[in-house]
Amino acid sequence: MNIPTMWIIAVPPVCWRRTAAPLAAAVLATLALGGCATFSKDGGFDSVARETRNHLDKDVRWPRTKEEQAKVDGQVAGLLRHALSAEDAVQIALLNNRSLQAAFEELGISEADLVQSGRLPNPRFTLRHAGTAAQYDIEETLSFNVLALLTAPYVHETEKRRFAQAQSSAVAAVVRLANDTRRAFYAAVAARATVHYLEQVKTAAEAGAELARRMVAAGNWNILDQAREQGFYTDAAQRLTHAGWAEDSTREKLLRLMGLPGGQPAVELSQTLPDLPPRIEELPDVERAILENRVDLRLQRLKIEELSHDLGLTKATRFIDVLEAGPTRVLQGASSLPYEHGYEISLEIPIFDGGAPRVKRAEAVYSQAVDRFAQAAMDARSQIREAYAAYRASFDIARQQRDEVVPARKAIAAENLRRYNASLISVFDLLSDARGEIASFDDYIQSVRDFWIAKSQLDGAMLGDSSP
């Protein structure tokens, strides 16, 4: 059947004068959408990469060919040739983490929906054929979804907003992964330092326990003092075992975040945590942070805009949810008879359902999103202030540990060594003091770790990642 294309949107002559202008405008708008409904070269990824550089000063890649993947693998291999800093670990994670790559694939899914929304809906052909004794009843209809044609520009705008949400979600995933990796790095390095110091504590405790055993055997000491020294040794051994497990656990978590196979001894981390800065930063402008930098709030604003747009579309189509029109031809009788030509309209009659529930639901969903945004903005301010308080307190603790506790323990150790050389204290007092001095160094390492984790938490709160 050869039906002219212009018949696809045919409507009854009696209604044509009333609907010609808006229908023609809808046709032109939809044709314009169809002309620009193509896939972009970057898939919307360039804006994600640009925001990552602005916020984190890091590169992200979305390799979609073997050549691009080879470049990423080469960049990761180059970073792994030397001991990794926290920023190196973050860069590897942003290049190599497959969960992040899966988040980027959401861009492809969303862009496909965007392009699809700009395409003309396909017409539908219906054939009804019946006959007996050379008498036929044939009906052929080509119908087109007129309602989809009229609402196509609105649907396309909605998909644009959803695509923007997908881009913001990708940025949020990048920020979250960067902060998680940075915190995991600090925990792994600190755990390794703890093992180093606890090995020294165990050595000192073991020496004390062995000396006590010999003195008891010589009759110069009692069983109670020996049991006390043995208890110190047992406690030190258990703490070392626990620290070794913590070191393995934190290292495995870091490797997972970097997208590297577990159990890789070739991955070398820097030996020490970064030093404390000379001073801490002032509390940032909270209002500016939540307005300009918080990715999660931007996502919610985009969602509110989408829901507002959807609410308007729902109100506009509340009475008519189905509207199809198209040309038809009918043959009744012998096959030699001419076809009768006409048109067919399918229309949903709003007798039982006037669309009020759909409108009410859309209004409730929109109001819900507005309320959630208002609470999220309040929470964002609180999260930044809370993160800054932790950042400041952890700095004060680490600085006091460095400037007061560690020097005091060193002074005590030096004095006790002098007293031991003068036979004023026993070797057990000296070993006990050595254990305390080593423990103070470990406490300092943990306080520095807590400071850098708190700093990362503050940076995350500024950008919208408030995960603990």
Listed by start position, the domains of the chain span 281-318+355-468
Tens-place pLDDT, residues 72-104: 999 999 999 999 999 999 999 999 999 999 999
pLDDT at residue 69 in the model: 92
pTM, two decimal places: 0.80
Ranges 94-98, 107-111, 223-227, 402-406, most confident: 94-98
Q: Is the pLDDT higher at 135 or at 29? A: 135
Q: Is the pLDDT higher at 232 or at 105? A: 105
- Tokens for 16, please give them: 């044509």
Query: CB within 8 A of 160, min separation 6: which ones?
Result: 114
pLDDT band at 11 (very low <50, low <70, confident <90, very high): very low
pLDDT at residue 439 in the model: 81
pLDDT at residue 248 in the model: 92
Q: Is the pLDDT higher at 150 or at 36? A: 150
Is the model's pLDDT at 192 over the cut of 50? yes
Q: Is the pLDDT higher at 292 or at 446? A: 446
The three-state secondary structure class of 443 is helix
CATH architecture of residue range(s) 281-318+355-468: Up-down Bundle (1.20)
pLDDT at residue 9 in the model: 35
pLDDT at residue 184 in the model: 96
Tens-place pLDDT, residues 348-361: 766 666 677 878 88
pLDDT at residue 2 in the model: 38
CB of 139 within 8 A of CB of 73?
Answer: no
Tens-place pLDDT, residues 203-259: 888 888 888 888 888 877 778 878 888 888 888 899 899 999 999 999 999 999 999
pLDDT at residue 263 in the model: 64
pLDDT at residue 254 in the model: 95
CB of 405 within 8 A of CB of 326?
Answer: no
Angle value at C-alpha 186, between 182 and 187, nearest 5 degrees: 115
- The CA–CA distances, whole Å, from 433 to 204, 232, 416, 428, 437 equal 10, 12, 8, 8, 6
Tens-place pLDDT, residues 358-376: 788 888 988 998 998 889 8
Is the model's pLDDT at 8 over the cut of 50? no
Least Cα distance to 155 among 144, 142, 145, 168 occurs for: 145
pLDDT band at 129 (very low <50, low <70, confident <90, very high): confident
CA 64 to chain centre: 20
CA 76 to chain centre: 21
Q: Is the pLDDT higher at 435 or at 77? A: 77
Is the model's pLDDT at 185 over the cut of 90? yes
State the Cα–Cα distance between residues 459 and 180, nearest whole angstrom.
12
Ranges 92-101, 108-117, 301-310, 312-321, most confident: 92-101
pLDDT at residue 127 in the model: 83
pLDDT band at 318 (very low <50, low <70, confident <90, very high): low
